[in-house]
Amino acid sequence: MTFSFVFPGQGSQSVGMMNGYAGLPVIQETFSEASDILKQDLWSLVSNGTADDLNLTVNTQPIMLTAGIAVYRAWMDLGGTKPAIIAGHSLGEYTALVAAGALSFADALALVRYRAQAMQQAVPEGTGGMAAILGLDDAIIETICRDITAQSNSESLEPANFNAPGQVVIAGHKNAIQQGIELAKTKGTKRAIMLPMSIPSHCSLMKPAAEQMKQQLEKVPLHAPDLPILHNADVKSHTNPATIKDRLVQQLVSPVRWVDTIRAIAATGVTHVVECGPGKVLAGLNKRIDQNLQQLSLTDSETIKQAVNQLKAG
């Protein structure tokens, strides 16, 4: 029995999401460590804060990184073994790098806070956005995006997340997205909806943020990971630190190829995929990508213990 870990990104956060991990001191210890580094009480924010505060990108990114590392540390403390291969969805790629020893927790926290600020500043409020298109083939959505971009002199529309078969997120200028939604309806989409996000992630509008991240990453020490990590931008594993940094920059302006990532994980012989962090967003996507893969989600103390025992038994 071979297993993989995947780390969630933005979209899995919710107030009270860490409440189920009672009895695991390392969870709160990790949040305390992160709070000291960032000079912000993350535990209070995630336990008692408002959804609006939690959903601010500058808060969400460090909180989801902290949550993923806290759960990974709890896994290891309970006797869990290292996975054969790992990946992270968007922001989760930074969590994966920390878990693999390539990036220190402190450096990762500073990086994702910087990343969130750079992303927020890259596009003026109200200019961009994202939408989910359900029930259409990827090729149709790619054509829609190309056609709308070609028809405009100044606006762009691009696929941003290939999340599962029949579930693609598009990103770009708000007006272009609205056109994309209308065109998708004429092509037979089951559903096309604007997402409550002002930042058009994983598209060319993030070029200013990507340039800032490139400069920031040059200042940060990064080492060869001790676990294979599949990167969002090219669905490949790298050991050269300069190449990994390049993939983190590229990630901001490239689509998250999650379908390809899970299929590549399955191709290595992995039988179980473990979602390391609160929520079950990735498990839901992964089931739709490959029904033969067994999905486990470490959503609370009990599920971590059960998964440790299950994967040890195998």
Instruction: Please tell me the number of Cα atoms within 13 Å of 145 on its side-chain side.
Output: 25
- CA Rg value for the chain: 19
Q: Is 223 a catalytic residue?
A: no
Select which of 12, 90, 254, 297 is catalytic: 90
Strand-strand pairing, 3-7 and 85-88:
parallel
User: Starting at the edge strand that comes first in sequence, how are the strands of the sheet with 229-230 ordered?
Assistant: 229-230, 85-88, 3-7, 272-275, 294-297
Q: Is 89 a catalytic residue?
A: no
Instruction: Please tell me the number of Cα atoms within 13 Å of 247 on its side-chain side.
Output: 26
Q: What angle do CA 175, 176, 180 make, to 5 degrees?
A: 120
Select which of 89, 202, 231, 238 is catalytic: 202
The dihedral region occupied by 232, where left means phi > 0, alpha psi between -120 and 50, and beta the remainder, is: alpha
- With 0-12 / 13-18 / 19 or more C-beta atoms within 10 angstroms meaning exposed / middle / buried, residue 81 is exposed
Integer Cα distance of 130 and 136 in angstroms = 16
Q: Which residues are catalytic?
A: 90, 202
